[in-house]
Structures are given as C-alpha cells and as structure tokens.
C-alpha cells in the first residue's frame, strides 16, 4: 500500500524533443529592416517643415540671415550691451587714430607751420571717420535684414542670379518675421542712427577746430613777420620786403633815379 502511494502521476510537460521551434527560427527577421519611426524621421528631416512649405534655400531665409548677422562681427556689436557697444567703437577709433592717423598726420604733413596740436586733431578726425564708416556698414546690414523680415514676400535665387524667384510668406511666417523685425531689428537701427548723428557732429566739430587753429596760426605768422621788418608778402609786390630779402639788388638805385 505504501508502495502505491509513493508513486507519482506522470508529468504532463512535453518533452524537449516535441517543443515547437522558436518563431525566430521559423520566420527569421532580416537584420536590414529598421523600425518605421527611424525611417520616417530620416525622411522628414531632409525636407522643409510641412507647416511652412518654404521653397527658399536655408541660407536665404530672413530668419537665418538674421541669426547669421546677429552672431557675426562687427554687426553683433549693435545688438549687444550699450556700454560694450560704445567701448568697442571707442577702442576701434582710438586704435585707428593712434596707429594710422597719427603717423600719417605727423610725418606726412606738408605745411611748415603745422603744430603738434593740429596733427593730433587730424589723427582724431581720422579715427572718428573710421568709426563712422564702420557704423554705416553695420546700419546697411541691419537695414537689409530688417526689410526682408518686415516684407510680405521674399526674393531668392535657386541656383544663380538668372533664376530669381519670389515667395509669398504664409501667415505664420509673416507674423513671426514681423514680430522679430519690430522688436529686435528696429531698436538696433535706432541705436545706429543716433550713433551716426553723434559721430557726424563730432567729426564736424573737429574739422572746424582744425581749420580755425590753422587760420589763427597763419595770421600770427604774418603779423609777426610784418613786425620783424616787413619780411612777409601779403600777395602783392612791396619794395620794403624786396629790399629786406635782397638788399644788394637795390644798391645805387636811388642815385640812378636822381640822375634821370
């Protein structure tokens, strides 16, 4: 009886020899097949966004032109901090005046009566002129990008100058570009305009001071020459000045006039 109770029922688990083969063995997955999401993401990454449908090349789109301009030098100076902007312009003008304007005005001045003050004023004027040209270049670049952002159409070239096209912006792109142009580009243009006005006034004042200094020096030289014995000639012939320069040419002149 104990022997009968110790017996166990046969196991119902199938034998390893009767197990069905794995699915991968029956239907092997080719290693070249990739998930669909990777293929779709790759195909959409090489095309324009579906919400814009912009045919303009990326480098000619106004938004990309703005980003490129705002990160390039010296155009990025105008959109930065005001103190940093003024300091960079000051360093540019001082460097040009010191290393270019001053040597030219000091060693290249033809006038004999040029004093150090006049040469320094000439160097300062050259520095102001160099800064003015740099600000004009910045203004032209920002004005070009601002006009393209605010415009409802975009002119672009597909392959060259001979195949120019015009694309009308969509409502979303136009709203984005005009928002960027109104609140980002226009303040920069206002700053550049004020800078140009200040530079023009400074350049005009330096030129006026330079001209007045030169005129005053000439008048002083002429008056001092007249007091020294009439050695200066004020644009007409004078016997006294001629006698002072060449006294031997007038020897016996009075005797000849008496004999006649």
What's the mean pLDDT when you consider all of the chain?
A: 76
Helix (H, G, I), strand (E, B) or coil at 68: helix
Beta bridge partners of 154: 167
Distance CA 115, CA 125 (A): 16
Model confidence at 30: pLDDT above 50: no
Instruction: Enter the pTM of the model.
Output: 0.65
pLDDT at site 115: 77
DSSP 8-state secondary structure symbol assigned to residue 80: S
Maximal CA-CA distance, the chain: 187
Residue 209: partners with Cβ closer than 8 Å, 6 or more residues away: 121
pLDDT value, residue 123: 92
Per-residue pLDDT at 236: 56
| C-alpha of 55 from chain center | 28
Radius of gyration of the chain (CA): 43
Burial readout 161-194 (b: 16 or more C-beta within 10 A, e: otherwise): eeeeeebebeeebbebbeebbeebbeebbebbee
Between CA 220 and CA 225 the distance in angstroms is 9
Separation CA 196–CA 203 (nearest Å): 10
- The percent of the chain in helix, strand and coil, each rounded to the nearest 5, is 70, 5, 30
Query: How sure is the predictor about 224, in pLDDT bands with cuts at 50, 70 and 90?
Result: low
Percent of the chain with pLDDT strictly greater than 70: 61
């Amino acid at each position: 009886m104990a022997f009968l109770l110790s017996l166990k029922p046969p196991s119902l688990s199938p034998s390893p020899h009767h197990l069905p083969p794995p699915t991968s063995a029956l239907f092997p997955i080719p290693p070249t097949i990739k998930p669909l999401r990777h293929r779709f993401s790759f195909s959409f990454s090489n095309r324009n966004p579906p919400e814009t449908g912009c045919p303009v090349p990326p480098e000619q789109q106004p938004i990309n032109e703005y980003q490129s301009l705002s990160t390039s030098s010296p155009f990025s100076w105008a959109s930065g901090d005001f103190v940093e902007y003024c300091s960079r312009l000051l360093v540019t003008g001082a460097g040009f005046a010191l290393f270019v304007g001053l040597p030219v005005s000091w060693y290249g001045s033809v006038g004999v009566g040029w004093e150090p003050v006049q040469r320094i004023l000439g160097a300062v004027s050259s520095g102001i002129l160099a800064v003015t040209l740099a600000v004009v270049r910045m203004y032209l670049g920002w004005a070009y990008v601002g006009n393209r952002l605010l415009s409802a159409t975009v002119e672009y070239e597909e392959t060259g100058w001979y195949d120019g096209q015009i694309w009308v912006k969509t409502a979303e792109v136009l709203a984005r570009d005009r928002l960027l142009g109104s609140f980002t580009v226009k303040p920069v243009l206002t700053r550049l305009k004020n800078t140009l006005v200040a530079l023009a006034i400074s350049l005009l004042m330096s030129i006026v001071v330079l001209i007045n200094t030169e005129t005053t020096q000439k008048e002083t030289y002429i008056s001092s020459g007249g007091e020294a014995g009439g050695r200066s000639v004020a644009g007409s012939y004078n016997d006294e000045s001629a006698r002072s320069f060449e006294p031997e040419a007038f020897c016996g002149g009075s005797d000849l006039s008496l004999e006649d």
